[in-house]
Amino acid sequence: MHTDLPLRNSSAPADVLADVASVGVALIDGVPGRSGLVALAHSIGTVVPHRDSDLDGATAIEDRAHRDAAMVGFTRAPLAPHTDRSSIENPPGLLLTVCSQEPVSGGESVIVDGQAVYDDLAQTMPSALAALCAPRSALFGGADGYLGSVFAPGPDGVVAVRLRLDSLVRFAPAVAPHIPALRAAIERHLVTLPVRTGAGYVLNNRRWLHGRRGFAGPRLMYRVTADPRPHTVTAGFRPETTVTGETAVPTVLRRQEPIDTTTTAEPAPLSSITAPGDHP
Ligand SMILES: [Fe+2]
């Protein structure tokens, strides 16, 4: 269990915002379903519509028996920790979820602090971290997706995380061998949250990753993405260790290049990738 997680389970907007601003995540409880989640989102930011959302900005995440990779969120399958909307240049800064119906078994949410993963790799596997920071070293979401890196150092020392580990990501040849180390670091910092009606989380989508366990029976979650108001939540985190230009691996992935897909179980051809499938 992550020892720095706030434990107060408050859904008061001021408390949620304070927790997200300080540690990147807030655990919420007693949220009255969809309308409550949408109201909370409006109180702390600007709701960002999603491809799959309804007019109020909320998406019902449930098993719809989809079979294509881009819609795996609408199944009962587990989802590896990921960033929502990783295929666009500026993913929304906030992700809010709440459970509306508990499954018969499984379905727990999993979340991971990207800062903890970054600092872990800086200590245990600096060469992996340098590769994961290299610009244009990962293609998120297919040929029309976003060409960037897992960790993106920005101005003022802020680093943003961006990740997906499904069949809709491609890593440059110099990065792919380090994905097992990344997966191992993620596993070391994984936090499992029980899925319970009215409970959920709000997280900084540029700092924390989220996923879920597979489940049986009906499971209904609502998801809203939003952008925080200016100067409230940083678009990333400030790591304890900085990867300098000297240590960064100069590996560049161009869209036209053959791509090493050894890290994905059953990679889809680039032409078949249409849209991200990122859900809580
Ligand atoms: Fe997601």
How is 249-279 classified by DSSP, letter by letter?
Answer: ------TTS----TTSSSPPPGGG--S----
Cα 72 to averaged position of ligand 1 atoms, centre (Å) = 10
Cα 247 to averaged position of ligand 1 atoms, centre (Å) = 31
Whether domain 13-255 has CATH 3.30.559.30: the reply is no
- pLDDT tens across 159-201, in order? 999 999 999 999 999 999 999 999 999 999 999 999 999 999 9
Q: Give the SS3 label for residue 118.
A: helix
pLDDT over 50 at 260, yes or no: no
Cα 245 to averaged position of ligand 1 atoms, centre (Å) = 31
pLDDT over 80 at 115, yes or no: yes
Of 66 and 121, the one with more pLDDT:
121
Contact 221, 100 (CB under 8 A): yes
Cα 229 to averaged position of ligand 1 atoms, centre (Å) = 21
Cα 181 to averaged position of ligand 1 atoms, centre (Å) = 22
* Other CB atoms within 10 Å distance of the CB of residue 145: 22
pLDDT over 50 at 264, yes or no: no
> Measured between alpha carbons, how far is 206 from 21 in angstroms, rounded to an integer?
12
- pLDDT tens across 48-95, in order? 998 889 999 999 999 998 777 778 889 999 999 999 999 999 999 999
pLDDT at residue 270, as a whole number: 29
Cα 184 to averaged position of ligand 1 atoms, centre (Å) = 20
Cα 272 to averaged position of ligand 1 atoms, centre (Å) = 20
Cα 167 to averaged position of ligand 1 atoms, centre (Å) = 15
Cα 19 to averaged position of ligand 1 atoms, centre (Å) = 20
pLDDT over 50 at 279, yes or no: yes
- pLDDT tens across 96-106, in order? 999 999 999 99
Cα 3 to averaged position of ligand 1 atoms, centre (Å) = 23
Cα 20 to averaged position of ligand 1 atoms, centre (Å) = 17
Of 10 and 212, the one with more pLDDT:
212
pLDDT at residue 249, as a whole number: 41
- Positive/negative CA dihedral, 185, 25, 63, 270: negative
The domain spans of the chain are 13-255
Residue 274: pLDDT band by 50, 70, 90 thresholds? very low
Cα 177 to averaged position of ligand 1 atoms, centre (Å) = 25
- pLDDT tens across 225-234, in order? 999 999 999 9
Compute the mean pLDDT over every residue in the chain, rounded to the nearest whole number: 87
Nearest to 118 by CA among 133, 140, 138: 133
Cα 280 to averaged position of ligand 1 atoms, centre (Å) = 4
Cα 110 to averaged position of ligand 1 atoms, centre (Å) = 11
pLDDT over 90 at 273, yes or no: no
Cα 84 to averaged position of ligand 1 atoms, centre (Å) = 5
pLDDT at residue 268, as a whole number: 33
Largest CA distance in the chain: 51
Cα 82 to averaged position of ligand 1 atoms, centre (Å) = 6
Cα 116 to averaged position of ligand 1 atoms, centre (Å) = 19
pLDDT at residue 111, as a whole number: 97
pLDDT at residue 252, as a whole number: 46
Cα 129 to averaged position of ligand 1 atoms, centre (Å) = 23
